Each structure stands twice: as structure tokens, then as C-alpha cells.
Structure 1
């Protein structure tokens, strides 16, 4: 891992003065949030704020503390520190103003998708029309199927519907598109965009970096229970994403001699200090601008390197994630953390099972 990059990210200020950054009176505020399970600190002094109408993303490795942070902010688990939602402690907020989709949510299986949305809508004095909500999540055609017969993606879309049926002012979505096919993901993305355009504040956690990059105004990266970087996705990519790269899939195994020969040729043709490294299936040349691709290919040819395919790409939020967390992540401690035994928010349906998943 690049410790210099990590240190710089820790010191980077939030985007409070930039468009899309937090307003003077944030909807969500957390200062010094801490939560421990035994000897493991799930949250270790987290600070954050989320503005009204903002789509705020939270990313990080499994075990980083994302789900625990969502639970703390929604009042489904106790945590130390100053936590305020709409200016009040999370448990004092009117539940009708909050929508929550936990990472794990198992509603009664012998109800149809329509009946489930009707049920959760009935918990509130004013709720959205069930049919329009089912349409929003792409479940209108399967509304009368029992939940237990639905595919994993259809179940997840139904769960999203139960989280938005009360038309919340603040919506927490913990991995909303897990297991959903591309068409279903697009439907959920469009729904999030419409909600945000209408003034709903959205707090989104996801392992899909393309999803976070597309949807969020700002994103915080959580590692070992601490926020190590926060900002607009394009700013984080610019500061920590690294250089554009050219990936070559080679016909023969990559050797140290191959890497050195290509590196020498690339430096000769491009100047500067482009980096050449071995990958699982070939080579990666970092620092190749679009206009330099031809020279990089010439360096491969001059080194006698045969390749099956080439691909060029600019850095993305995934590169930021990998650079600041490391490509391999070891969980802290010798074991996992216990599930907390909470269902879907503060109004779990009868038969709902504990909300497990990422800490």
C-alpha cells in the first residue's frame, strides 16, 4: 500500500465549500463516533456530515465498519460520540422521515411483493401508492409472486421498495443492488437519482465502485473503523487514482526479463518514468497517455513481446479504493464480530431475521 497516499488522504479536508458539499445545517452529523465489540473497535472516531439532498457514498473493505456506522446513524445500535439526524439523536427522529434498507433483510416469505409493500406502507400515516413504488423498482410484473419464489435480485428490489414506500426525507441504502441484474440495477439507479432530484438525502453503501462513482456527490472511504478519505468522486480520483494505464494480455508467461525489456523500451520512446509491472495475465504500463499508445505498442514489439489483447483505461474510484486500502485486506482481530440482532430498522416485520453482514 502507498502510505504517502494514505496519509495525504487522511489529512484531506471535506468538500464543505464546494458545490455538492455539505450545507451549513447538515441532515446527518457524526463526530467522534465509536463502537467496540469486545476488544475490536468497529468504529474508531468517525466524523462525517451529509447535506440535505446529497447522495453520500460510504465505501470500504468488508469489516471496515460500514454497516455498524449505518446502524449507529439510524439508531438501531448504540454508539459513543455525537450523532445527530435532523438535529436530534437518531432514536428521537420521527421514523416516517427515515427509510432504511439493511444489508440483510428477510421479510415474511409467504407474502407477495405487493403485500409486503402494502404492509410496510401501512406502518405510516402517509405512504406512497404501492403500485407506483413497485413500478419504480421494476417489480410491477412480479408483484403477485410470493417473496420466497422470487430470484435474489427480485427479492432485493422488493426490499428497496419497502424502504422507500414512506417517501422518506433521508434514505439509508446498505448494498442496495447486491445480486441484482444489470436491468434491475439501472432501475434502482434511476430511482435514487429521482429521489435525490426531489430533495431526498441518500446515504449509500456499496462495493460497486462504478455505482458509487455514478450516483454520489461525495464519498467517504472507511478503513479499520476510520474515515481515511472524503470528497467528490472525481476529486478523489484526481488526487489518489494514479496515472492512466495500458494493460497487455500476453501470449507467453511474464518474466522479470520481459518486464525490464518493455520498461527500457517504453522509457526510451516516452521519456519520463512510466512504470511497467507484471499482472496475472500480462503487463501493465502506467503513465501512458492516449497519444502514447502507439509508442507503447512499439516498445512491446521491439522487446519481442507477443500480446493477445490491449486495453487502455483512465483511473477510477476503484483505483482509489485499491490504492488507499491495499489490494488485500486482513480483518482486524482473530475472528468476526457478532451480529447485533436487529431487524429492518426500528419497525421490523414479524418473522424478520437479524440484520447481519458487513460490520
Structure 2
């Protein structure tokens, strides 16, 4: 897949109307190579003050490398600016960072860990307030090694925000966290952004990015191939709404054709019918036309156990714009980034 899609005027997107003239994070022509493998291949982006910016893409696409370049922990070619200065020149207290892999001392309690990281700064938030923000107030005195994976991740989020950063990088912040814990982290991110903190969010949870991000950039093979507000990306690249029928019997080509004929008679040539692993899918069905699609199934003699209707989402955009081409090309890059990052990407 060679298409490059954008919902904004510039390759990396433009700041929302009314935002500060100078972006908090800016990159132009960012490039990073690991030997013969190009991890970042001319990335352009900008992030406005108080914005939640989502970075998505397959494993090995270059996301972690880009975050490391923006936080000054790895060198990269091109023009990189954070608060108008090179990343290595930024006052560390202005930055909060939660990497994808973070292993703090295991024999400290959650409270002691937040105290420790808060003590690295001249001014830090109150430990108890931070623990409450991430839902760890009741387990603050448990050793880190005895906490569940989700509790550990929430504690790590707490250590990243204890300095009350102006710019917060979060790499997979809710991995392993239960729904209640995820909700607490989401509320925290929303409060921080509302208070003026700029949040750079990397996640494989498309629902999370779609809910939280003001804008999204999709990285594939080291390039930004789509960017813009989530709803605009979905409208442009997410495809049509769909009606899925879980059928009692296996779907044959003849069944698909019978249903397709009935759908065309009732809904015109717009909707399409296809077989799925569990039954049938009718694409392009608006809510008001669901009854007509069901009539087409009945007329074709299709018995179904359940029906579900859904609109396209950011996940559909992700799958469409990454596709199978990345699987053919990405293995080498993923392995290179794993070596460069010191572990499995």
C-alpha cells in the first residue's frame, strides 16, 4: 500500500485553530537509521500546547524511536524542537515520561516510589494526591513486586506525572490495567490536558486514542501516512457502517449472492455483502435501513443467531492504512528496533 493520507493540510497535521503560534513539539524531516534499516524516514509533526496527540502504528513502525528522539534519549537527523529548543536543552522538570518498559525498584512501596521520583525535582505534586489520581491510594503501602500488573502500571503512571510536567509522553499507559483503572487514567489525562499539559500518547488501544486524542498521526515504516482529528480520519478512511450476522450454518458463495440480490432490491447498489468467519456482513447499511437488510436475509433463507450494527472506528482506519504490506516489510525493521531498544519491541 503506497497511499499517503492526511486529514490536515500539512504532512504531520497542523495545530488546531486558536492554539499557540509555536508548537510545543515540532519535527521536520526526522530520520533515524539502525545500520541498514531506516526506523524514521522523514517524519514531520507538530503538537500544540494543551493538545492530546496520539501516535499509532504497528510494532516496529518507529514510534518508540520517535519518542526517544523527542525526549533527547536517542540522536536523530532532522530538525527537532521541544518548547522551541533541541530536546537535550529542555529543562527535565518540564517533561514527564512513561516508557513502554519501566522497571522501578521492586522492594519499594508504591508510595515510596512516587516519593522517590518526586524528590528528584525542586517542586513536585503531593504524593497522596498523585496516588489517588491513578487509583492507587488504597494499595500505596504494598511493595511494587507484590502488585498486580495493572497496579504496577498505574504506579508507573504516577511516577511520570509527580513533577506536574508541561509535556507528558505516555507510551502504552494502560497496558494490563483493568477497565476501572483505565477509566481513572483516562480521566487523569483529560484533566491534565484541560489544565494545559501537552500529552503525547502512544497506544495500540484504538478506542483509547479515539477517545482521548485531539489529533492522531499514523506511523508506518517510519513515515507518517495519515494524520488529523480522529473523526476526520474515520470519515475519510474508515469505510462504511456494517451489519454483521452470526449464522447457524456456514456461509457459501450462493448464500452471499442470494443475500446480495435481496439487498440490492431493497437498498440499491450502495451496500455490499461478504462472507465472514462467523457468517455474513452487509457494508453500507445506515441505521434506518437495518430492517430492510434483515428482510433480505430472511428472504434468502439465512438463519442467524445474532445481529450487530457498528459504525467505522479508528481501528478500521488503522487496519486499512497499515494492511498486509506492513507485515511483509516490517519484520526486519521490528527486529532492528528491538536490538536498538534493548529488547522486544
The reply to whether TM is greater than 0.5 is yes
1:16 paired residue among 14, 17, 35: 14
Q: Distance in 2 between matches of 1:160 and 1:357?
A: 21
Change in Cα spacing, 1:35 to 1:274, as seen in structure 2 (3 Å) is same
Q: Distance in 2 between matches of 1:12 and 1:258?
A: 45
The corresponding residue for 1:44 is: 41
Indicate the structure with greater helix content: 2
Query: What residue ranges of structure 1 are gaps of 5+ in the alignment?
Result: 343-353
How do 1:137-156 and structure 2 match up within 5 A? 137-156=134-153
Change in Cα spacing, 1:23 to 1:257, as seen in structure 2 (3 Å) is farther
The corresponding residue for 1:350 is: none
Q: Distance in 2 between matches of 1:82 and 1:284?
A: 47
Q: Deviations over 1:270-318 (max 9, x none)?
A: 0023111111111111100111101100111111111110000111111
Change in Cα spacing, 1:155 to 1:335, as seen in structure 2 (3 Å) is closer
Q: TM-score if structure 2 supplies the norm length?
A: 0.94
The corresponding residue for 2:104 is: 107
1:327 Cα deviation after fit: 6.0
The corresponding residue for 2:257 is: 260
DSSP-derived class of the 2:336 partner? coil
How do 1:102-251 and structure 2 match up within 5 A? 102-251=99-248
DSSP-derived class of the 2:225 partner? strand
DSSP-derived class of the 1:221 partner? strand
2:287 paired residue among 285, 290, 297: 290
Q: Distance in 2 between matches of 1:10 and 1:17?
A: 12
Q: Deviations over 1:110-164 (max 9, x none)?
A: 1110111011001101101101000000000000100000000000000000000
Aligned residues: 342
Change in Cα spacing, 1:265 to 1:328, as seen in structure 2 (3 Å) is farther
Q: Distance in 1 between matches of 2:203 and 2:254?
A: 40
Q: Distance in 1 between matches of 2:333 and 2:155?
A: 36
How do 1:57-136 and structure 2 match up within 5 A? 57-136=54-133
Native 8 Å contact 1:219 1:233 kept in 2 = yes
Change in Cα spacing, 1:317 to 1:338, as seen in structure 2 (3 Å) is closer
Change in Cα spacing, 1:8 to 1:117, as seen in structure 2 (3 Å) is closer
Q: CA RMSD in A?
A: 1.9
After TM superposition, the runs of 4+ consecutive aligned structure 1 residues lying more than 3 A away are 6-15, 17-20, 338-342
Change in Cα spacing, 1:332 to 1:198, as seen in structure 2 (3 Å) is same
1:239 Cα deviation after fit: 1.0
Q: TM-score if structure 1 supplies the norm length?
A: 0.91
